[in-house]
Chain A
Amino acid sequence: MKRKILMLVTLLLSIAMVFSACVVQEGSKGGTDQNGTGDVVKAPDKLRIFYVTQGATVPEDFDYQNNTILNLIAKAANVEIVEAIVPPWSDIVTKYNLMMSSGNICDVVHYNGPQTINNDGKNGAFLDLTSVINNSAIIKERYSNFLEQLKAEDGKIYALRALPADGDINMCFYFRWDVLQDLGYTEATIPDTLDEWIEAMRKLKQKYPDAIPYTSMDNLHWSEFVFSCYGITGRGTAWQEYFGKAIHSFEHPLIKDALSTYKMMLDEGLMDPEFITSKRADFDAKRWNKKVLINQQNLGAAMVFASRYMSNNIPEARTVPGIWPFVDDPRVDPASIYEGILPVGNSVVAIASTSKVKDAAIRFVEEMLSEETQTYITWGIEGVDYEVVNGEKQQILDDGSGTQNFTQAKSLYNWLFAVNTRMNIEKSFKATLNAIKNANPGITQAELDEYSRISWKYFNKALEINNSYPTYVLNKFITLNDDTAARATEAANEALIIVTKAMRGDISLDEFDVQAANFLEKYKFITEEYNQKLPAAYKLVGREYGK
Chain B
Amino acid sequence: MARKNDILIELNEKRGFKKSRDLPIYMLLLPGMLLLFVFHYIPLFGVAIAFQNFIPFKGVLGSQWVGLKNFEYFLKDQNFWRVMKNTLEINLLEIVFGFPFPIIFALLLNELWSSKFKKTVQTISYLPHFISWVIAAGIFRSILSPSSGIINVFLKNVLGMQPIHFLSIAGYFRPILIIAGIWKGFGMNAVYYLAALSSIDAQLYEAAKIDGAGKWRQTWHITLPGLKNITIVLLVLQVGSLVTIGFERIFLLYNPLVYEVGDVISTYTYRLGIEQVRFSLTSAIGLTQSVVNFILVYSTNRLAKAVAGWSLW
Contact = CB atoms under 8 A, between A and B. Distances in A.
Nearest to B278: A486
B274 A98 contact: yes
Contacts of A274: 145-147, 165
B24 A6 contact: yes
B35 to A, nearest CB: 6
Given A97-B277, A486-B272, A506-B257, 10 more contacts: A6-B28, A97-B274, A102-B56, A123-B57, A219-B256, A274-B146, A489-B271, A489-B276, A490-B271, A504-B168
A348 interface: no
A353 B58 CA distance: 11
23 contacts: A10-B28, A10-B31, A11-B27, A14-B31, A17-B35, A93-B275, A97-B274, A97-B277, A101-B56, A101-B277, A103-B56, A120-B57, A123-B58, A125-B57, A218-B255, A274-B145, A274-B146, A276-B257, A486-B277, A489-B276, A496-B256, A500-B256, A501-B257
B88 interface: no
B257 A486 contact: no
Contact of B57 (A3, A354, A504): A354
Interface string B234-255: 0000000000000000000001
A448 interface: no
B141 interface: yes
A354 B165 CA distance: 50
A423 B260 CA distance: 49
A470 B34 CA distance: 62
A97 B273 CA distance: 9
> Would you list the 6 A-B pairs with minimal beta carbon distance, nearest first?
A486-B276, A124-B57, A497-B256, A103-B56, A125-B57, A10-B27
Interface string B26-69: 01101100110011000000000000000111110000000000
A493 to B, nearest CB: 7
A276 B168 contact: yes
Interface of B: 23-24, 27-28, 30-31, 34-35, 38-39, 55-59, 79, 141, 145-147, 165, 167-168, 255-257, 259-260, 271-279
A103 B34 contact: no
B191 to A, nearest CB: 28
Nearest to A495: B256
B39 A6 contact: no
A489 to B, nearest CB: 5
Nearest to B78: A522
A313 to B, nearest CB: 20
A54 B219 CA distance: 64
A465 interface: no
A6 B28 CA distance: 9
A466 B30 CA distance: 67
Interface of A: 3, 6-7, 10-11, 13-14, 17-18, 21, 93-94, 97-98, 100-103, 105, 120, 123-125, 218-219, 273-274, 276-277, 353-354, 485-487, 489-490, 493, 496-497, 500-501, 504, 506
A105 B55 CA distance: 13
Most chain-B Cβ atoms within 10 A of its Cβ — which of A14, A21, A100, A125? A14
A3 B23 CA distance: 9
Contacts of A97: 274-275, 277
Nearest to A286: B147
Contacts of A273: 146, 165
B31 A13 contact: yes
B55 A123 contact: yes
A273 B27 CA distance: 60
Nearest to B167: A277
Contact of B256 (A13, A14, A276, A489): A276
Residues of B contacting A: mostly: helix
B5 to A, nearest CB: 32
B168 A277 contact: yes
Contacts of A101: 56, 273, 277, 279
Contact of B275 (A10, A277, A489, A501): A489
B259 A497 contact: yes
Nearest to A104: B56
Contacts of A13: 31
A10 B256 contact: no
B58 to A, nearest CB: 6
Given A124-B58, A277-B141, A277-B168, A497 B257 contact: yes
Contacts of A219: 256
Contacts of B259: 493, 497
B227 to A, nearest CB: 36
Nearest to A12: B31
Contacts of B167: 277
A525 to B, nearest CB: 15
A100 B58 CA distance: 11
Contacts of B30: 10-11, 14
Contacts of B34: 14, 17-18
Contacts of A504: 168, 257
Nearest to A15: B34
B255 A276 contact: yes
A504 B255 CA distance: 14
Contacts of A490: 79, 271-272, 276
Nearest to A13: B31
Contacts of A102: 56
Contacts of A125: 56-57
B31 A493 contact: no
Contacts of A7: 23-24, 27
A124 B274 contact: no
Nearest to B39: A21
Contacts of B165: 273-274, 277
Nearest to B77: A490
B256 A6 contact: no
A91 B30 CA distance: 38
Given A274-B146, A274-B165, A493 B271 contact: yes
B24 A3 contact: yes
Nearest to B21: A3
A144 to B, nearest CB: 30
Contacts of B145: 274
B264 to A, nearest CB: 15
Nearest to B55: A123
Nearest to A496: B256
